[in-house]
Amino acid sequence: MSKAKFRRIKLIEYLHNELQAKSYREVAKKFNTNRRSIYEDLNYLRGKFPDMVIQTDSDTVYLRLPDNIRIDYFYTYMIRESVAFDLLESLFLYNEFERSEIIKKIDISQSTLYRLVHQINMELLEQYDLEIKLTPVKLIGEEANIRTFYNQLFSEAGNVMDWPFEIDLYKLEEFLQLIAQIFDFKLNFGNKHYWANIIAINMIRTRLGNKLPNSDKANYYYQMFDSPEHSSFKSLFHQATGFEFSKDSLQQLFYPFVQENYIASLSHFISNDLNQDNERKSILYLNTIIDDFIQEFDVILTNRDTLLFELHDTLLINKKITVNTIHVNRKGNFIKFLKKNFPKEYHYINERMTNFYLNFHTENNQSVVDQFVYTFFLKFDNILEQLQNKKAKLKATIITDLEYEHAVFVYNWIKQRVGPILELDIYEESSICIERLNSLDSQILISNFYIEDIADKHILWIEDYPTPQNYQSLTKMISQLEF
């Protein structure tokens, strides 16, 4: 998106998180601009989003989002409305264009196209080792990186209730349910949508003739799914994807799960992939870190294999492409939360993960270490709940379209602040509908995506990570319910 649009989004976020009106001088200084620019930005937002509460006088400005909309809505709206998104989406759906075709399709001039392509290449695609060429207009680079980029782009340009592809989502979800049964893992509402999104991207890229290099790892999955005990898999594979079941189609449609063993168990991962002595030592080192943490903080871990796999996978992934979100720094926000609310635990793991990383690299990389810390606390089963275990009264249910560990994080953030007043539960089912939510035995629903009003229930819309405004709204709800 343009710098002006991005500034307006950050302006919304900044003012919404402030509980009181801010002076024009403070706001202009915050965004390194002048009062006139802020005034023009606010007028633009008033015209574009009439439901947004914007109050100004000669000295101050106050902004509030509608109760049923969170900040991500404005991010995704601005992304989808941008010319850059139109260009990238067109290249995803049709592979390439002559310059005259794309200029006509997205309604821009040739000079604007040149400027836009240069900006996208420098500011967005460079980190993925990708580039848009102009003769013809085409996105070039390794196919794996292209798929990773588009998964990120479509994730940022929509939410879990959006489905931007002309593919039968119901059949795809039914297909994913079968895979979950075969591998015996939990498929919740958030990760089911995430996987469906990835497979849809893989399907479209494969249909356009864009193929990934061959991988021997596809053989393991092909043999497993081809066994008599999973006879229904082949037909369901074809119904859901339109592709005939083969090693190639399995690999192309299940990237990156097949290539990176995201589905396989840790025991298979170790026996087949960790043949080098250095990698085996890394597992033993991580085991020691986990054991020491359990002993130091007197907590219980029930999913050691999952935690070990995720931590080691973090090391492997960071040897390859680093995927950064376009506008949401979830890892950074989570690290700040840990430092503030669990400083002892954070510094304990940060120090040990730094030493772990230095065993494989000569120089420290705090960004990668932060990723280890982030993974450790998110994948350590109910760790934050164990550290903040208190009795409750009123009931609330947390619903998230992200990974289960994100719901655990929100759970503990709220638990810390309201203590024994509120009994919290996490919605773990893989599908969602208004009727099901209405039947929940909770007075409050806490969600990070839009849900329509439900009779007799209070609904708290939060950001990916809760804000002071969320806490203020929650305390009002609790007070009303207690009264």
Answer whether the bond into residue 420 is a cis peptide, omega within 30°: no
Q: Is the pLDDT of residue 379 over 70?
A: yes
Q: Is the pLDDT of residue 388 over 50?
A: yes
- Model pLDDT for residues 424-459, shown as the tens digit of each residue: 888 888 777 777 888 888 888 888 887 777 777 888
**Residues whose CB falls within 8 Å of the CB of residue 322, separated by 6 or more in sequence, listed in order:** 127, 367
- Model pLDDT for residues 41-73, shown as the tens digit of each residue: 888 888 888 888 888 888 888 888 876 676 767
Q: Is the pLDDT of residue 466 over 80?
A: yes
Beta bridge partners of 64: 53
> Can you give the pLDDT at residue 160?
60
Q: Mean pLDDT over residues 351-364, rounded?
A: 79
Angle between helices 35-48 and 3-17 (to 10 degrees): 90
Using a cut of 0.75, tell me whether the model's pTM lies above it.
no
* CB contact at 8 A, 470 and 444: no
DSSP state of 182: H
DSSP state of 107: T
Q: Which helix (H) or strand (E) holds 160?
A: none
Averaged confidence pLDDT in the chain: 79
> Can you give the pLDDT at residue 101?
92
Instruction: Find the range with the poorest average confidence among 173-182, 214-223, 295-304, 408-417.
Output: 214-223
**Residues whose CB falls within 8 Å of the CB of residue 181, separated by 6 or more in sequence, listed in order:** none
Q: Is the pLDDT of residue 185 over 80?
A: no
d(CA 26, CA 31): 9
Tell me, rounded to whole angstroms, the distance of Cα 8 from its chain centroid. 22
Beta bridge partners of 262: none
> Can you give the pLDDT at residue 328?
41
How far is it between the farthest Cα atoms of the chain? 75
> Can you give the pLDDT at residue 91?
92
Q: Mean pLDDT over residues 218-240, rounded?
A: 76
Measured at the alpha carbon of residue 430, what is the angle toward residues 429 and 435, in degrees to the nearest 5? 65
**Residues whose CB falls within 8 Å of the CB of residue 180, separated by 6 or more in sequence, listed in order:** 186, 187
> Can you give the pLDDT at residue 183?
63
- Model pLDDT for residues 306-321, shown as the tens digit of each residue: 788 778 767 655 443 3
The percent of residues in the chain predicted with pLDDT above 70, rounded, is: 83
Instruction: Find the range with the poorest average confidence among 83-92, 182-191, 262-271, 413-422.
Output: 262-271
> Can you give the pLDDT at residue 462?
85
HEC-encoded secondary structure of 284-305: HHHHHHHHHHHHHHCCCCCCHH
Residue closest to 106 by CA, chosen among 73, 70, 143, 80: 80
Structure tokens at 374: 């982030």
Question: Tokens 């903040």 label which residue?
Answer: 388
* CB contact at 8 A, 56 and 63: no
